[in-house]
Amino acid sequence: MSLDVSQLGATAMGMMDGLAQKERFGDDAEIRTVAIVVEINDGDTTGVFYRCTDPRIFVQEGLFRAAIRAALAHGAEYDPDG
Protein backbone atom coordinates (compact mmCIF):
# COMPACT_ATOMS: atom_id res chain seq x y z
CA MET A 1 0.00 0.00 0.00
CA SER A 2 1.32 3.41 -0.94
CA LEU A 3 -0.17 6.51 0.66
CA ASP A 4 -0.04 9.93 -0.99
CA VAL A 5 1.57 12.08 1.71
CA SER A 6 1.60 15.27 -0.34
CA GLN A 7 -1.30 16.75 1.66
CA LEU A 8 0.66 16.26 4.87
CA GLY A 9 3.70 18.05 3.46
CA ALA A 10 1.65 20.87 1.93
CA THR A 11 -0.21 21.46 5.20
CA ALA A 12 3.02 21.57 7.21
CA MET A 13 4.65 23.91 4.68
CA GLY A 14 1.63 26.24 4.69
CA MET A 15 1.69 26.41 8.46
CA MET A 16 5.41 27.16 8.59
CA ASP A 17 5.10 29.83 5.88
CA GLY A 18 2.27 31.47 7.84
CA LEU A 19 4.27 31.40 11.08
CA ALA A 20 7.35 32.83 9.38
CA GLN A 21 5.35 35.89 8.33
CA LYS A 22 4.11 36.66 11.83
CA GLU A 23 6.00 39.19 13.88
CA ARG A 24 4.80 37.67 17.15
CA PHE A 25 7.97 35.67 17.71
CA GLY A 26 11.47 37.08 18.00
CA ASP A 27 14.63 35.87 16.30
CA ASP A 28 15.45 33.62 19.25
CA ALA A 29 12.18 31.63 18.95
CA GLU A 30 12.42 27.90 18.35
CA ILE A 31 9.99 25.10 17.60
CA ARG A 32 9.83 22.97 20.73
CA THR A 33 7.14 20.33 20.24
CA VAL A 34 5.55 19.04 17.06
CA ALA A 35 2.47 16.83 16.87
CA ILE A 36 0.82 15.39 13.80
CA VAL A 37 -2.73 14.02 13.59
CA VAL A 38 -3.74 12.14 10.46
CA GLU A 39 -7.02 10.56 9.43
CA ILE A 40 -6.76 7.76 6.90
CA ASN A 41 -9.83 6.38 5.13
CA ASP A 42 -9.87 3.61 2.55
CA GLY A 43 -13.61 3.68 1.91
CA ASP A 44 -14.36 0.90 4.39
CA THR A 45 -12.27 1.80 7.42
CA THR A 46 -11.19 5.06 9.03
CA GLY A 47 -8.26 5.40 11.40
CA VAL A 48 -6.89 8.38 13.30
CA PHE A 49 -3.20 8.37 14.11
CA TYR A 50 -0.87 10.76 15.85
CA ARG A 51 2.76 11.17 16.66
CA CYS A 52 4.41 13.71 18.93
CA THR A 53 8.05 14.67 19.33
CA ASP A 54 7.70 14.87 23.12
CA PRO A 55 7.13 11.49 24.80
CA ARG A 56 5.65 13.00 27.97
CA ILE A 57 1.90 12.33 28.06
CA PHE A 58 1.10 15.53 29.97
CA VAL A 59 2.84 17.60 27.28
CA GLN A 60 0.95 15.79 24.52
CA GLU A 61 -2.37 16.25 26.31
CA GLY A 62 -1.72 19.95 26.89
CA LEU A 63 -0.72 20.49 23.28
CA PHE A 64 -3.86 18.79 21.98
CA ARG A 65 -6.08 20.69 24.42
CA ALA A 66 -4.53 23.97 23.18
CA ALA A 67 -5.15 22.89 19.56
CA ILE A 68 -8.80 22.10 20.35
CA ARG A 69 -9.28 25.54 21.93
CA ALA A 70 -7.68 27.21 18.91
CA ALA A 71 -9.86 25.29 16.46
CA LEU A 72 -13.05 26.03 18.40
CA ALA A 73 -12.17 29.71 18.80
CA HIS A 74 -11.71 30.14 15.04
CA GLY A 75 -14.86 28.20 14.17
CA ALA A 76 -16.03 28.69 10.61
CA GLU A 77 -13.57 31.53 10.11
CA TYR A 78 -10.53 29.32 10.67
CA ASP A 79 -7.77 30.15 8.20
CA PRO A 80 -5.22 27.34 7.92
CA ASP A 81 -2.78 29.78 6.29
CA GLY A 82 -2.93 32.28 8.90
What is residue 77's predicted lDDT score, i.e. its pLDDT?
Answer: 43
pTM confidence score: 0.67
Which contacts qualify for 28-35: CB closer than 8 Å, 24 or more apart? 33/59, 33/63, 35/60, 35/63, 35/64, 35/67
Tens digit of pLDDT for each residue in 29-56? Answer: 888 899 988 889 888 999 999 999 999 9
- Cα first-last separation, the chain: 34
Structural domain boundaries in the chain? 6-77
